[in-house]
Amino acid sequence: MSVAVIINPVSGTGGGPEAGRRRAELAARVLVARGFEPVVYLTERSGHARELAQVAVNHGARTVVAWGGDGTVNEVASALVFSDARLAIVPSGSGNGLARELLVPFDPTRALGVAIGPHEHAMDAGELDGHLFFNVAGIGLDARVAHRFAEQGLVGRGFSRYLAITLREIVRYEPDEYIIVADDERLRSRPLLIAIANARQYGNGALIAPQARLDDGRLDVVVVAYRSPIRALVQAPRVFLGQVGRVSGVTMRTAAEVEIRSARPVVYHLDGEPHVGGTTISAKVHPRALRVMVPGPR
């Protein structure tokens, strides 16, 4: 086989077994009509997409389609990185940050057309605490929100639920102190959040690192100093306008390697998926480590 499709049936609003069946039927119909004989998989648990992607590559898949949100994309990409296999995306998650950066259509039929199209691009991969990420990793408030969002399971998923959790957590949030070393620059801070970005946005147009590029061999490190909940909420729209760098108390720099130290275990997220590390965690970039299908030349 040359194309495999890995579908997370519960991704996004309206996900579930019936949604998974419809997605699988559509993927098979579209790809067969284009002359392919795809193998379609449905995920059953966390981590399953990565396992299925590895199986697909071992059986000869040259393109593996991740149909889901950023977490599904992360799992599939983690199995394809450093190989000749190519990632394609059919976005159906709550944020779809990487798909938005790559300008992948949200219509599944058009996205599948991109998957079997002629255009591919080599993009960087980030690594934090030994785990790969491809969009944005974070520490602080956004990591807290990612943990709370994951605890909800399938109840009330979607951007509105994510926003509601953010509003609740921003009132409760108490910052830890971190020492951030980005290449040779050292910063001590009690931040609202630290974003380590390979791409520009979390998703839904929230541009936390407006200058980030997927293929520059650098990670963008954005440190937002702690501020009152009211002030944070008033300034939040500037993130969606790409103006976070103009907000007072925000520092932005790029680095090939980053180290984060804290007195307590570091709570973080990778592409929206929650993790907990030790008191010191490190990040680095792997330049052009992933081949990805895109709608046109970049």
Instruction: List the CATH number of the domain containing 236.
Output: 2.60.200.40
Question: Is 147 contained in some domain?
Answer: yes
Question: Is 126 contained in some domain?
Answer: no
Question: Is 9 contained in some domain?
Answer: yes
User: CA-CA distances (angstroms) from residue 115 to 52, 76, 224?
Assistant: 18, 14, 36
Is 44 in the same domain as 152? no
Question: Is 296 contained in some domain?
Answer: no
CATH code assigned at 13: 3.40.50.10330
Question: Is 161 contained in some domain?
Answer: yes
Q: Which domain holds residue 103?
A: 3-117
Is 142 in the same domain as 112? no
Question: Is 270 contained in some domain?
Answer: yes
Is 107 in the same domain as 163? no
Is 90 in the same domain as 155? no
Three-class DSSP category at 286: strand
pLDDT of amino acid 239: 95
Among 85, 117, 149, the domain-final residue is 117
Identity at 190, one-letter amino acid code: R
Residue 265 DSSP code: P
pLDDT of amino acid 98: 97
Determine if residue 111 is left, alpha or beta; phi over 0 gives left, psi from -120 to 50 gives alpha, anything else beta: alpha
**pLDDT digit string, tens, across residues 100-113:** 999 999 999 999 99
Give the list of residues 6+ apart from residue 54 with CB closer than 8 angstroms, or none.
79
pLDDT of amino acid 147: 87
Three-class DSSP category at 166: helix
Three-class DSSP category at 90: strand
pLDDT of amino acid 162: 74
pLDDT of amino acid 1: 59
pLDDT of amino acid 154: 52
Question: Is 157 contained in some domain?
Answer: yes
Is 269 in the same domain as 154? yes
Among 117, 149, 180, the domain-final residue is 117
pLDDT of amino acid 289: 98
Is 58 in the same domain as 13? yes
Is 87 in the same domain as 213? no
CA-closest candidate to residue 133, choices 175, 73, 210: 73
Among 117, 145, 176, the domain-final residue is 117
Is 277 in the same domain as 150? yes
Is 198 in the same domain as 248? yes
Is 95 in the same domain as 171? no
pLDDT under 50: residue ranges of the chain: none
Burial group, residue 291, by CB count within 10 angstroms (0-12, 13-18, 19+): buried
Q: How many domains does the chain have?
A: 2
Give the CA dihedral 78, 84, 89, 95, nearest 10 degrees: 40
Question: Is 122 contained in some domain?
Answer: no
Is 157 in the same domain as 212? yes
pLDDT of amino acid 158: 64
pTM of the model: 0.92
What DSSP string runs through 153-206? Answer: TTTT-SHHHHHHHHHHHHHH--PPPEEEEETTEEEEE-EEEEEEESSSBSBTT-
Is 236 in the same domain as 153? yes
